[in-house]
Amino acid sequence: MGSYKRLLVYVKPYAGRMVFGLICMIIAAAAYLVVPWLIKNVVDEVLQAKDLATLNLVVVAILVVFLIRGFATYGQTYTMSYIGQRVIIDIRQALFKHLQRLDQAYFDRRKTGQIMSNLTNDVSALQAAIVDNLISLITEGVTLIGSLISMILIDWKLTLVTLIIVPVVLGLVNVFGKKLRLAGHEVQGRIADITALLQEVISSIRVVRSFARESYEIEQFEHENQRNFRAAMKATKLSSLLSPLVEFSAAIAVTVILWYGGYNVVTGVISAGSLIAFLIYAINLSNPVKRLSQVYSNIQKSMAAGDRVFEILDTEPEVKEKPNAKVLPELKGDVDFDNVSFSYDGEKNALESLNLHVPAGRIIAVVGPSGAGKTTIANLLPRFYDVTSGTLRIDGVDVRDVTFKSLREQIGLVPQETMLFNASIKENILYGRLDGTDEEVYAAAKAANALEFIEKMPEGMDTLIGERGSSLSGGQRQRISIARAILKDPKILILDEATSALDTESEKLVQEALERLMKNRTAFVIAHRLSTIKNADQIIVMKQGHVVESGTHEELLEQDGLYKSLYSVQFKSKG
């Protein structure tokens, strides 16, 4: 019940409403317990004495009791639903907030669809545990205890005979509960797999269609659907078995009561009214036991989702901000990699003893074959990852000693795969600086060579561009991304193969925009097309995590090394 206790912590802010809800639940359950006593009096006194006036009072009393129960039931249902909705919102908000704190490595190791499933399916599954199951748990618990006390007051010997069956029921609930918890984990896991597959296929639908892999993806989805079906049926089988077993055990108890109680009525030990009331309470006792077993199984399945949610909340980021981290002042842009090594998996180094000094305002290009460590440099600068050894300093300050916000607000990133939001062009540019004015947005778009095509759009700056900017061409998306970076006005700029996926015409426009963007900034240009970096102040050539060559374009061509080899290959391919 550890996860359930943690779940109840989120209920604490709504303690006042919870108390009111609990009072309503107790009233609703207690009202139900009064009726058998009234029926007992009718059978033992009213019917024997043929007292019509008392009978009328009892009937009115029963109606009043059920009216009170109705109001109490409404109060408990509405109040608990309110609390449940608020708690789910709070948990989902806490989960999303915590995900923003987790480092890049966490997201690299997990599928996007699985994380989405945690935020949606798993959190929603907790609502049943808070609302429906909690109401049943308390209401049936009060009914169970009240019925048991009433049975003892009527005939304690008959109660003892009835309770012989209780350990059997508790044993069944315990055994099945553990199995249901495991089955619930499997069900939630299968749902997460389906969500992950959906996310991947839908986001890559152009690739699926271009390779004519619709049938293959349908088969994959059917396979995951079948796995989900088998997991769900396993959980249903266990849940369905528990209920009739508990019910049969309760039936044995009722049979014993009928025989032993009937014998006591015949021998004059108890009255007929007492036996009828006892039977009603016994049924009231068996029904809560049966329902509580269902509630227990439901809670176990819900807590399987809770375990997954709390597992994320308990995950600590590997890249942490120090408690005493200071705010990085406005940068000049001087960057030092001091004997820096880095490994993604803790085994093979992506960077090995990198020593690199980049003075403020200089443009440095980073080239080399795939896997050389180029993008790793781009990941370390904004501290998406921490260096494994060595020190990365900006303006002489270790990046591990400053706040994330003050560091990242002064670094701009223009990646190869442009990420735009399903919003207007203006909103996408404003993402660079949320308080930017309309004039600044237009100036940024103009500097990025984007204003011309924006003005031809149906609604100009207010045109919605679809998910990931799907309504724009690659060159247009990249220019919006550059406009966003221009508006941000960073002191350090990272261009991660920003033109490699563009056609010649788009590349020319984007390259012009990039040159304006790099002016008076420290710029790291990670490039595949060597023709785009000829004017860099310095070019470093990387291979297997090491810097193997360094110099200007002309100097490197004269060295007759790896750079000249890469340049010659590209030049010949163009020829």
Residues 6+ apart with CB under 8 A from 169: 246, 249, 250, 289, 293
Check: CB of residue 332 under 8 Å from CB of residue 281: no
What's the burial of 490, exposed, middle or buried (CB within 10 Å: 0-12/13-18/19+)? buried
Which residue is listed with tokens 């247009």? 476
Statement: the pTM of the whole predicted model exceeds 0.75 = no
Ranges of the chain whose pLDDT falls below 50: 573-575
Q: What pLDDT is recorded for position 341?
A: 93
Q: Report residue 128 CA to chain centroid gap.
A: 17
Q: Which helix (H) or strand (E) holds 363?
A: strand 363-367
CATH code that applies to domain 2-183+240-313: 1.20.1560.10
Rounded Cα–Cα distance for residues 352 and 339 (Å): 8
What are the structure tokens assigned to 194, written together?
């389906």
Composition of the chain by helix, strand, coil, percent to 5: 65, 10, 20
Q: Which helix (H) or strand (E) holds 32?
A: helix 15-41
Rounded Cα–Cα distance for residues 536 and 522 (Å): 11
Rounded Cα–Cα distance for residues 285 and 150 (Å): 10
Rounded Cα–Cα distance for residues 366 and 375 (Å): 9
Q: What pLDDT is recorded for position 286?
A: 63
The CA-based angle 145-149-153, given to 5 degrees, is 170
Inter-CA distances, 309 with 91, 92, 106, 306, 314, Å: 9, 9, 15, 5, 9
DSSP annotation of 369: S
Rounded Cα–Cα distance for residues 158 and 146 (Å): 16
Rounded Cα–Cα distance for residues 70 and 307 (Å): 36
Check: CB of residue 483 under 8 Å from CB of residue 450: yes
Rounded Cα–Cα distance for residues 525 and 413 (Å): 10
Give the domain ranges of the chain: 2-183+240-313
Q: What pLDDT is recorded for position 393?
A: 94
Rounded Cα–Cα distance for residues 422 and 428 (Å): 9
Q: Which helix (H) or strand (E) holds 365?
A: strand 363-367
